[in-house]
Amino acid sequence: MAYCTVSDVRVLTGVSEAMLNDDEVEALIAFSDQQINDDLGVQSEPAPTRIRHLSALLTAIKIYTRPDFRQGFHVGEVIVTEANVEEALNRWMRDVNRIYAFYGCSVQETPLAFKVA
């Protein structure tokens, strides 16, 4: 069972199903969950709230670093600029680092093309 839901990820990203279907989000969640298992070990069920949030954060980062979202996008009437994307990525990465630190780990390298302040 996945640590987070598609809905959890959509709340963070604001990305609609028309922009990225549920199957695509679920595939990214699976990658994020495997990353958590590799880094922190398999988590108990139900997953602790921190792990659920970590899974959603890692998945949101994977979505926002896709080329079709990285430069900004529209969600209905709302415009998400490239600057908004970068701010979200930095905020999410800080949260990821905080959660990893809680478990006694650190994120040595990020797959992102930016540095966390």
| Total number of domains in the chain | 1
Do the domain assignments include residue 76? yes
Per-residue confidence in pLDDT tens, the chain, 117 aa:
899 999 999 999 999 999 999 999 999 999 999 999 999 999 988 889 999 999 999 999 999 999 999 999 988 888 999 999 999 999 999 999 999 999 998 765 444 444 433
Do the domain assignments include residue 31? yes
Which range of residues forms the domain containing residue 10? 6-102
- What pTM was estimated for this model as a whole? 0.88
Do the domain assignments include residue 110? no
Distances (CA, A) of 7 to 2, 77, 83, 100: 12, 20, 24, 23
